[in-house]
Amino acid sequence: MAFPTTSRAFRRTSDGKSIELISEPVPQKLQPTQVLLKILAVSLNFRDVGMLHNRYPIPVIPHGVPCSDASATIIAVGSSVAEFSPGDFVAPTFRETCSGEIKALGGDVDGVLREYAIFDQCDITRIPTYLGYEEASTIPCAGVTAWTALDFDKKKQGKSALMQGTGGVSIFATLLCVAASMAAIITSSSHEKLKKCQDLGQGVQGINYRINQDWDQETKKLTQGKGVDVVINNVGVTSMEQCFNALARYGTISLVGFLGGVDEAKMPDCFTPVLMKAAKVQGIFVGTREDQQDLCAFLEDKTIDLKPLVDRVFKFEESADAFEYLYSGAHTGKVIVKI
């Protein structure tokens, strides 16, 4: 494939409230350790739309290219690149670290909602070739977040996890639980969404928190009074008290999202339940390049079907519509933009 001269990209508008399609030049020379990627598919996350609605608590670069999750193929490599070759199926990591600073794609630096992008070789990994473009694009943020949030190691296999909501991280985590023989409980306000989740595999159970507001007590009933070993908290501080109630002794609460807001005044006492349950509370900022490689190795080993993750696929030109659909909350799993 010839080296492209231009690339179409979506960037946040000057007021930061929407996105706009532009055309911009592609640098014609790679640095020795750089690779040129042809983006194949992009997976949206809540942070991408949260930035446009003042619901993202971290400053972002103005007029930046949004999105962090993508699958891609390598078009060209720099003179010192030895680990990768043109044609390799890859994904960027959520965080760029090669510069010595930690920078998140789509926020601190330009993201992947574009046709072509240049990355350093240490900021990409190979991804399983059995996956389609759309499913593979969910790996860098949703997948790696689910992997690290599950506190994944052999000691956890055969135990249990609770996932809040039916977004991408929760669905990905549920698929990992099924593959690892972990009991999975997922919460939603929609019977239809819960039915979809329960169809993901044997042992997946659902709790409708609109009908059963005491979902923490229902979780204990479903686990014979023990509670779950891992809680993936996608809501934030407003659900922490119930998360502790639903947690087993020696369990882990992984703080992943902030759908319920970031009002610290609503944070309950954590000292007592952490002490009494010998619990661990960990903040999850996706994961490392090594985590992404470990996840991909696990996916390959188990040949996990990620198709159930994909809720809807939009064309590149329909990216603004994809953002609106994600923000509406009508989805179950991931919203994808195919480039």
Domains of the chain: 6-140+306-338 (3.90.180.10), 143-283 (3.40.50.720)
Each residue's pLDDT, cut to its tens digit, for the chain (339 residues) gives 778 999 999 999 999 999 999 999 999 999 999 999 999 999 999 999 999 998 888 899 999 999 999 999 999 999 999 999 999 999 999 998 877 788 999 999 999 999 999 999 999 999 999 999 999 999 999 999 999 999 876 555 559 999 999 989 999 999 999 999 999 999 999 999 999 899 999 889 999 999 999 999 999 999 999 999 999 998 877 889 999 999 999 999 999 976 555 566 666 678 888 899 999 999 999 999 999 999 999 999 999 999 999 999 999 999 999 999 999 989 988 999 999
User: SS3 string of the chain?
Assistant: CCCCCEEEEEEECCCCCCEEEEEEECCCCCCCCEEEEEEEEEECCHHHHHHHHCCCCCCCCCCCCCCCEEEEEEEEECCCCCCCCCCCEEEECCEECCCCCCEEECCCECCCCECEEEEEHHHEEECCCCCCHHHHCCHHHHHHHHHHHCCCCHHHCCCEEEEECCEHHHHHHHHHHHHCCCEEEEEECCHHHHHHHHCCCCCEEEEECCCCCCHHHHHHHHCCCCCEEEEEECCCHHHHHHHHHHEEEEEEEEECCCCCCCCHHHCCCCHHHHHHHCCEEEECCCCCHHHHHHHHHHHHHHCCCCHHHEEEEEEHHHHHHHHHHHHHCCCCEEEEEEC
Does the pTM exceed 0.75? Answer: yes
